[in-house]
Amino acid sequence: MSGSADKTFYLETFGCQMNAHDSEKVVGTLLQQGYRQVPSVEEAGLVLYNTCSIRDKAEQKVFNRLADYKKYRTQGKQFGVLGCVAQQEGEKIFERAPYVSLVCGSASYRNLPQMLVQLETGGQRVTGLDDRATDKCFETEYTARTNPHRGYITIIEGCDKFCAYCVVPYTRGKERSRTSSSVLEEARQLVDLGYTEIQLLGQNVNSYRDPDGKKSFAELLVAVASVAGIRRVRFTTSHPRDFGRDIVDVIDSVPALCDHVHLPVQSGSSRVLDAMQRLYTRDEYLERIGWIQAARRDISLTSDLIVGFPGETEREFEETLSLMDVVGYDSVFTFKYSPRPNTPALRLEDAIPDAEKARRLAILNDKQKQIGARRNRRHVGQVLEVMVEGKNPARGQWIGRTSQIKVMNFTVPAGVELTTGSYVQVRVTGSFPNSLVGEMAGV
């Protein structure tokens, strides 16, 4: 690949919001280096996959995708694997997929410009694989913002929690936070770009520790919400161990902080939580839920749940079901346990059959459907502020989200056209387990 005319790239992203935002930064870096993004593999000289290793068989899916495109090798294309699978598998990727030229973990993206030069000068096995000891964050002024409604800011990278089932501490390195001043500067830049909603990101976002010692996480929330032009501030994902009452206090006192908390619990059994190395008990988790439920604002709660962790008994699974009743989540992300490379849980016998995991998952999902339907019914008759995200012409509805991050499908009077990113008042006329329906109010 030589000459600026040939410097085209295609990037496909798998996984979480952190990965999606990492891709925005990778794209920005490539554009700054003179590359041009194209919409298909066929048009690209450099094909990149930003990978996620959270889900079962994630590595196999990456290798399958690479195999699909092996046919393009004769066309002189170069292939690169980025992200968590790249960090996890390392140089083994070159052995399994010899046509790959670049392997780069997420902690090494800051070195992409140098790695691109190596590729352009004929490098065949270019690697960026930092170990857990790295202190570096991937900050770049060249972020290519692809979400037109919500601006993402990573405030902390990596993880120090070492949950028994999770590969993230091994693929994203240790926890390292950005200075509050750099976060606030990026927030101001987002406002200049026209964003009014910002989401702060981190594997454990509330584990944030300002290197300059100026602000706690709660104080940073207030500071970001105070930037002129910002109307909404979200944050994800919180870890219960580091979730303090001060976070609830600032949500209560600062209207621009969205009334939504994502607080993953994973299990309702203290015994299973201990085996998972989650660092809290059921009662300690419920104490935090109590703070949230005692707030003056109606704060929506979402969570992550795993079924079938090694050794989970039927009684312990029922403890998770009972926790769902006690908390009343607005929505949950649910998973069957699957062994991940390098994790402590590999030492445990995964003796629960997949069919039993599937049965438990189905029961859990059915319960949440009922809870979500009940939780959403309480909004019927309310008038809620909605940020407009798009339109569904086939159904004659606009689509947006409330401050509680709930999806709202709504109608507007004939002849009224809205702009994405704008805010409107919507009267809720109906509800489903995972969404609300309504009509534009005040017209």
pLDDT of residue 319 exceeding 60: yes
Which residue's structure tokens are 């919500």?
150
Q: Reduced to 3 states, what is the DSSP secondary structure of residue 234? A: strand
338-355: per-residue pLDDT in tens? 888 788 998 998 889 999
pLDDT of residue 236 exceeding 80: yes
> What is the mean pLDDT of the segment spanning 258-286?
98
Question: Among candidates 302, 296, 324, which has minimal Cα distance to 404?
Answer: 302
pLDDT of residue 75 exceeding 80: no
pLDDT band at 94 (very low <50, low <70, confident <90, very high): confident
> What pLDDT does 2 receive?
39
Cα angle vertex 274, ends 273, 276, to 5°? Answer: 65
384-430: per-residue pLDDT in tens? 999 999 998 888 899 999 999 999 999 999 889 999 999 999 999 99
Token couple for 167 = 């590969």
Helices then strands, counting H and E runs in the chain, come out as 13, 19
At residue 259, what are phi and psi to the nearest 5 degrees? -90, 65
105-133: per-residue pLDDT in tens? 887 777 888 888 888 888 788 887 766 66
- Mean pLDDT check: name the lowest of 124-138, 172-186, 248-262: 124-138
pLDDT of residue 1 exceeding 50: no
For domain 4-128, give the CATH number: 3.40.50.12160
Long-range CB contact pairs, 408-414, < 8 A, 24+: 408/384, 408/435, 408/436, 408/437, 408/438, 409/435, 409/436, 409/437, 409/438, 410/386, 410/437, 410/438, 410/439, 410/440, 411/438, 411/439, 411/440, 412/439, 412/440, 412/443, 413/440, 413/443
> What pLDDT does 85 receive?
84
> What pLDDT does 205 receive?
96
Where is mean pLDDT largest: 14-23, 156-165, 246-255?
246-255
- Mean pLDDT check: name the lowest of 100-104, 105-109, 314-318: 105-109
pLDDT of residue 90 exceeding 90: no
Domain ranges for the chain, please list them.
4-128, 383-440
Same fold across 4-128 and 383-440: no
Quote the percentage of the chain above a pLDDT of 70: 94
- Mean pLDDT check: name the lowest of 87-101, 319-333, 420-434: 87-101
Predicted TM-score of the model (pTM):
0.80
Give CA–CA dist 67/80, Å, rounded.
13
> What is the mean pLDDT of the segment spanning 20-41?
87
Mean pLDDT of the chain: 90
> What pLDDT does 135 receive?
63
For domain 383-440, give the CATH number: 2.40.50.140
191-220: per-residue pLDDT in tens? 998 999 999 998 899 999 999 999 999 999
Which residue's structure tokens are 């140089």?
91
pLDDT band at 4 (very low <50, low <70, confident <90, very high): very low
> What pLDDT does 109 receive?
78
> What is the mean pLDDT of the segment spanning 272-291?
98
Token couple for 431 = 């509800």
Give CA–CA dist 421/292, Å, rounded.
28
Please say whether the beta carbons of 8 and 46 come within 8 A.
yes
